Amino acid sequence: MLVVWGGVWAHRRAGVPQPTQDADASVRAGSCAMAPMVEMVGKVTRSRYDELVAESVDMVEEDTRCQFGLGDAALELEPLRGHGGHLPLEEGDQGVAESLRLFAEEIGLSFFTVRTQRWVAVQWPVEHRQAGVSWEVHRILASVPDRFGLIRNPPLSERTGRRRWSAEVAKKVVGWKTEEVQVPVTAQERVEAICELTRDDEAVAAQVATDFLRRPEVAFRAMRDAEARENVNEAQFEQAGLDDDEFDEEYEEYEEAFAEEGEPFEDPARIVHSWRKSMESTDLIAVCQGFIAGAARLVPKLRGHEFTDAQTKVLENHLERIRATADWIETAAATGQVDLDEQLAQLLRGQ
């Protein structure tokens, strides 16, 4: 029988059931579900990645042969008359450098590249060069005294889990800084990198700290550290004393100079300085007034309120610190001495 099925003419045999559209959909869905997932590495499939690795390994081996070949050629041109762990210019013979420069120019490389290839070649005699290990690894290990035995026993790579030499592994073995160390990733690594860079240079450390503290969020979080906050407070007191001393010395110099010429001297800087001191005094008075106003507003609201033992203890601790602070302010205003003794400092820190 000839029928129309889904817009297409087809033959139907009598007594033979025909698949429905739903059945076809189920078959297609089952086929998709059974299709294996293709593993990708980067933008290529795993199989293509393996091919690229194999091809690249061959190219690296060829490059190693070429690098050693160039070094051997330079070594034949100018034999190295000494051995050592470092890379000397030459053995006091300027003609050696001239020959290598001419050779490098003829083959299109830099003098320093040729000189390094020559040095690596002499550190690795042919019988000790390790097949399957790149020239770069040979270069990194060239200064190691036991390099001949070391290169035959590669350490376990943390990245791949295999015993295979790579430039990063070789650098770690000889104690060089690797790219992983130079480019810190975690927060702790970044902190350690900054500390290492500023460890022996107080001027750089101070500049870095100053730049960071200009960022409000950084300053806020830094001041949550009790020790940092205490150091900043003490530094402020010491700096204020130094500023006053330096200012007085400068003022006296100007005053003496004008006195010799018989002219009155009124230094604008002293006027500004006095304004600044007056503003600081006003700010301190405002802080006291703010505290008084806050207390006058809140205390009456406590009528009938019963404090718990914990609340009473906390309040007593704060009141003790307030009294100590008030004594400190009174002493500073009366004597000009703003230094904190250790006991008062511990009290203000809540210790």
Whether this prediction's pTM lies above 0.75 is answered by no
Residue 23, pLDDT > 70, answer no
pLDDT band at 6 (very low <50, low <70, confident <90, very high): very low
Residue 248, pLDDT > 70, answer no
Distance CA 124, CA 150 (A): 13
Looking at residue 344, its pLDDT comes to 63
pLDDT band at 169 (very low <50, low <70, confident <90, very high): confident
Q: What does the pLDDT look like over 111-165, one tens digit per residue?
A: 889 999 999 999 999 999 999 999 999 999 998 999 999 999 988 876 677 888 9
User: Could you tell me if 3 and 12 are in contact, meaning their C-beta atoms sit under 8 angstroms apart?
Assistant: yes
Residue 69, pLDDT > 90, answer yes
Q: What whole-number percentage of the chain has pLDDT above 90? A: 23
Looking at residue 16, its pLDDT comes to 46
The amino acid at residue 304 is G
pLDDT band at 28 (very low <50, low <70, confident <90, very high): low
- At 289, phi and psi to the nearest 5? -65, -40
Looking at residue 13, its pLDDT comes to 44
Residue 63, pLDDT > 80, answer yes
162 three-state secondary structure: coil
Q: What does the pLDDT look like over 268-295, one tens digit per residue?
A: 445 445 555 666 777 788 888 888 888 8
Residue 82, pLDDT > 60, answer no
Among candidates 56, 59, 172, 63, which has minimal Cα distance to 117?
63
5 three-state secondary structure: strand
Task: State the average pLDDT for the chain.
Answer: 75
